[in-house]
Amino acid sequence: MTASSILLVEDDSSLREALSETLEADGYSVARAASADAGQSLMSSQRPELVITDVYMDGRDGFDLLSHVRARYPAIPVVMITAYGSIERAVDAMQRGAVDYLVKPFEAASIRAVVQRYLPARSASSRDASASPAVDAADDLCCHDRGTREIADMMARIAATDTTVLLTGESGTGKEVFARYMHDHSARAAGPFVALNCAAIPENLLEATLFGYNRGAFTGAQEAHSGKFEQAQGGTLLLDEVSEMDPGLQAKLLRVLQEREVERLGGKRPIPLDVRVLATSNRDLKRAVANGQFREDLFYRLNVVRIHIPPLRRRPSDILPLARQLLAKHASNQRPPALSPDAECLLTARDWPGNIRELENVIQRALIMGSPNRIEAADLRFEPIGAPDDDEPEPDTPLIATDEPATAAPDVGADLEQDLRQREVELIHQALRARNGNRQQAAEQLGISPRTLRYKLAKLRDRGVSTER
């Protein structure tokens, strides 16, 4: 594997040399240019994976080079360097298609952090074909595939505004990661990023969690609490899986979005909001609207801009970089193990029905099964590909089976059934607590589908059994 290549365009020779040395020390290949014209010439011969250019230069400036790259090489990200006090030029650059910017003067760590968002890091000691990039992927967006880069580019442009954005895509594609990326590239980056999983909070608590409540608003409200909207003041609120919200609460959410103010439960005065709202859904919301499951007016309020995150099988160039990032994230030693060529082939050939969440599970299992230095193909353990709903037990099938014979005495059988029902409730509560209320993950832990878990929770509520975790 060759080192990732960067085109650095900077007319200040001292800064150009210092930045080049910093990036080359991290294992990148750096082509240097002292002007926009020289940089444009190098674009055709070098075809870099990332362009970093100063805005102010003699002759043609960085905006001219940015326009050239966006017109000829739209998949190549461009980072702009601007002087202190010229933030408006940086915002202008983002609107024209730059993916990020740096404000002079900046530390070496700043340019490293920006570059690692778009390219895999390569250390000088790991330039052989089997080495893995030592990066902490927890906070970095992986966008090596052309389609993902185009999405990141679009998000960087939209981030400069306060437009409401709806992120759609299959479960496990990383919609929250993309949402956080948009927040980090916005003018609200210094503010809070607050995420609320609407599917993980019980319906009777979701309203209070979202809007907050005053003391005495309901039984058990011993003191006032701010809601997620208030907590996100000055920043971004992500409504994750908004399609799971109860229709009655949808109407209240719509009013908050329209009026840009929120009123706590039991409150008497509205609280003005300065919050950007992002929302995600793994469902077809247009179909949900047609079926009467989602309010049409709320759909159009959220769907100002819709960005679809493609499944991992549609982003093949992201698979190996993501796998290496996850190895670095979960490896117990400082240098994560490398992937063998056979392991790489096996990973790229997979259809990944569970998307990045499934890939992360495979990587975690491989770290247990493989050696500390190398992951082989045999260390990769996959779940069988199939239709889970076709193979799963019917909703009435208990989580715990019994081998008691059908001829057991009636009173013994009744007692056994009651004990099993109670144990089932305990298992469901334990799984929800272990997964912080995430029903998708709790269902996986229980070995049932989310549909079956929803059915069982509904049956428990019908029986008057609390489903709160």
Strands (E), 241-314: 261-262, 271-272, 276-281, 305-308
Q: Which domains does the chain carry?
A: 5-123 (3.40.50.2300), 146-308 (3.40.50.300), 312-379 (1.10.8.60), 391-462 (1.10.10)
The answer to whether residues 428 and 456 touch, using CB atoms and an 8 Å cutoff, is: yes
Which tokens in the block code for residue 105? 């003067």
pLDDT for the residue numbered 4: 64
Q: For residues 301-324, b (16+ Cβ closer than 10 Å) or e, as one string?
A: bbbeeebebbbbeebebbbbbbbb
User: What separation in angstroms does the CA of 356 have from each of 107, 155, 249, 311, 360?
Assistant: 33, 20, 31, 8, 6
CA distance 150 to 56: 26
Strand pairing class (276-281; 236-240): parallel
Residue 387 CB neighbour total at 10 angstroms = 8
- Angle at CA 94, nearest 5°, toward 9 and 165? 150
pLDDT for the residue numbered 123: 37
In the chain the first and final C-alpha atoms are separated, in Å, by 48
pLDDT tens string for the chain (469 positions)?
345 689 999 988 888 888 988 888 878 889 999 999 899 888 877 788 889 998 888 778 888 898 888 888 877 888 888 875 555 666 676 777 777 778 777 777 778 878 877 775 443 333 333 333 323 333 457 888 888 888 988 888 888 888 899 999 999 999 999 999 999 888 898 899 999 998 888 777 888 889 988 888 777 777 788 889 999 999 999 999 999 898 889 999 999 999 999 999 888 889 999 999 999 999 999 999 999 999 999 999 999 999 999 999 999 989 998 998 899 888 876 678 899 989 999 999 998 999 999 999 999 999 988 888 899 999 998 876 544 444 444 455 455 544 444 444 444 445 545 655 677 787 888 888 888 888 888 877 777 777 777 777 877 776 767 666 5
Burial status of residue 377 (CB atoms within 10 A of its CB: 0-12, 13-18, 19 or more) = middle
Q: For residues 108-125, b (16+ Cβ closer than 10 Å) or e, as one string?
A: eeebeebbbbbbbbbeee
CA distance 403 to 421: 15
Dihedral angle of Cα 358, 361, 363, 364, to the nearest 10 degrees: 170
pLDDT for the residue numbered 183: 92
CA distance 39 to 33: 5
Displacement of CA 38 from its chain's centroid (Å): 37
CA distance 228 to 251: 17
Amino acid identity for residue 301 in this structure = R
Q: Is 385 helix (H, G, I), strand (E, B) or coil?
A: coil
Q: Is 245 helix (H, G, I), strand (E, B) or coil?
A: coil
